[in-house]
Amino acid sequence: MNKDTNNDIAVNNDMENSLNNTNNLEKDNQKFLTVTMGCQMNVRDTEIMEQMLREMNYEATHEQEDADLILFNTCCIRETAENKAYGRISSLKKLKEKNPNLIIVVAGCMAQKDQEAVRKRVPHVDLVFGTHNLHQFPDLLQEFKRYHHVKTSIWEEDEGLVPVLPTKRKYSFSASVNIVYGCNNFCTYCIVPYVRGRERSRLPEDIIAEIKELVENGVKEVTLLGQNVNSYGKNFKEAFDFSDLLIEIDKIDGLERVRYMTSHPRDFSDKLIDTIAQSQKICEHFHLPIQSGSDHILKEMNRGYTREMYMNIVAKIRQRIPNASITTDIIVGFPGETDENFQETMELVNDVQYDSAFTFIFSPRSGTPAAKMEDQVPIDVKKERLQKLMELQNNSSLRINKALEGQILQVLVEKVSDHNSDMMSGRTRTNKIIIFPGDEGMIGKLIPVQVTRAQTWNLMGETV
């Protein structure tokens, strides 16, 4: 089914040689520190690179002064993210002067987008590589350590899919699984298609095999990753879409929960809603980015759907899965957005009643059409609109959470609470964070918790 099969074979051979060659590196238990910026895809990539470093006899540290290697996995979705990355990398110049043997690595989307800018703005960086040749990291590092020449290696997407690589996960009971690489949507504000490439779907049998292996190793929850999971399978010769994949994953014995991110309303189908409604393991959480409630702005964004189409999807979800949570992404201050356009967004948010929303001020991203559009909205207007939107959404979030008080919910316990060592933190099937008394022995277990008090961003509870 996959048109890139030959490239996959070549890439897998490169990966095998790359990992085998790490035996020639020093075996002095050097230390590494990683800094991850951006989306869940970057988090997953960092986990892979961390495992590569462990296989090269590095061990992790949280102190940059102790590190022999510092790796930045960068994001460039917004210029603020890129500037933050440059700021953090620049701050290491003095540390590099103090410790000339420190190796600084820059990977990810910012590197893929503009390697020349990386070389000029942070010349003390030793190794730069992009999103498409992550599997080459061990060989690239070995080459740098052998010859001490600054190394830059950026692949274009047509050189092959990045293969499945070994990883050590943050949680032993939860794992992310890539199902689609790249994006074909070309929203006018987004740089992702230019740095992650065009969409390429992994073969379903490979995905199923990976998840089964994860389950055999104790994983209870998987999150399927893609810039647009709803477009999964579009490059296959035989019909097999995201719903078909979910049906097969739902059959895997021992798996308890399935999540996915991110959905695009353009490709969201009735079949998908029915599949989730009939499933046992797919969580009832729909993250459905709207970005704007104005048809005019949606068209300018090249989102590919209208307000009415979006609201029809929401209505079908509410009808088929009444207990579902719906979350979203919204951008305020897109070029040309008038007060009337913004009010349309406010009205949509009020009508939908989202459980939560990620809200952003529009930030021009160089290299995208929106950055060149006329009628850029003044920053003070953007901030005022964002504040109004956040107040509206926070009221909605609290009201929805209040309705859960007294209910008993199934919770996957993730960790000790960040704020109280006597409390545990976990997630419900609808992706609500709930805090409750407990101990570390609960981590990784599914337990019933009764909601005792609702807050805007989380719930408080007691085990039952």
More reliable by pLDDT, 299 or 195: 299
CB atoms within 10 A of CB 33: 19
pLDDT of residue 174: 93
Burial of 27 (0-12, 13-18, 19+ CB in 10 A): exposed
Q: Is the pLDDT of residue 78 over 80?
A: no
pLDDT band with cut points at 50, 70 and 90 for residue 380:
very high
> CATH 2.40.50.140 region(s) of the chain?
408-463
Residue 27 has pLDDT above 70, yes or no: no
**Model confidence over 348-378: pLDDT tens digits?**
999 999 999 999 999 888 889 999 999 999 9
Looking at residue 74, its pLDDT comes to 92
Fold of 170-283: Transcription Regulator spoIIAA (3.30.750)
Cis peptide before 275 (omega within 30 of 0): no
Q: What's the whole-number mean pLDDT along residues 9-16?
A: 40
Q: Record the tokens describing residue 390, joined without a space.
A: 């956040």
**Cα–Cα distance between 368 and 353 in angstroms, integer?**
31
Confidence tier at 1 by pLDDT (50, 70, 90): very low
Amino acid of residue 198 = R
**CATH fold group of domain 5-159:** Rossmann fold (3.40.50)
Q: How far is CA 365 from CA 81, 95, 148, in A?
A: 10, 31, 34
Q: Which part of the chain is CATH 3.30.750.210? A: 170-283
Confidence of residue 44 (pLDDT cuts 50, 70, 90): confident
pLDDT value at residue 113: 85
Please list the residues that pair with 127 across neighbouring strands: 105, 151
Here the contacts of 12-19 (C-beta below 8 Å, separation 24 or greater) are 12/163, 14/135, 14/136, 14/139, 15/135, 15/136, 15/163, 15/165, 17/139, 18/135, 18/136, 18/137, 18/138, 18/139, 19/52, 19/55, 19/138
Degrees, nearest 5: CA angle 47-50-53: 155
Tens of pLDDT, residues 249-292: 999 999 999 999 989 999 999 999 999 999 999 999 999 999 99
- The β-bridge relationship of strands 325-332 and 356-361 is parallel
pLDDT reading at 24 higher than 60:
no
User: What is the tens place of the pLDDT at every residue in 417-438?
Assistant: 998 999 999 999 999 999 999 9
DSSP state of 40: H
Statement: 408-463 belongs to CATH 3.30.428.10? no
Task: Give bridge partners of residue 326 from the DSSP assignment.
Answer: 286
Length of the chain: 464
With 0-12 / 13-18 / 19 or more C-beta atoms within 10 angstroms meaning exposed / middle / buried, residue 210 is: middle
Query: What per-residue confidence (pLDDT) applies to 167?
Result: 59
Cβ neighbours, 10 Å, residue 325: 20
The pLDDT assigned to 16 comes to 45
Q: What is the pLDDT of residue 19?
A: 45
pLDDT band at residue 77 using 50, 70 and 90 as cut-offs: confident
pLDDT at position 121: 92
* pTM reported for the whole predicted model: 0.79
pLDDT at res. 11: 38
pLDDT value for 164 = 56
26 against 79, higher pLDDT:
79
Question: Do residues 200 and 218 lie in contact, with contact meaning Cβ atoms separated by under 8 Å?
Answer: no
22 pLDDT tier (thresholds 50, 70, 90): very low
Using pLDDT thresholds of 50, 70 and 90, give the confidence band for residue 195. confident
Residue 166 has pLDDT above 60, yes or no: no
pLDDT of residue 21: 44
Q: What is the pLDDT of residue 204?
A: 96
Distances (CA, A) of 11 to 115, 128, 154, 423, 446: 22, 19, 14, 45, 39
150 confidence band (pLDDT: 50, 70, 90)? confident
Q: What is the pLDDT of residues 260-270, one digit of tens each?
A: 998 999 999 99
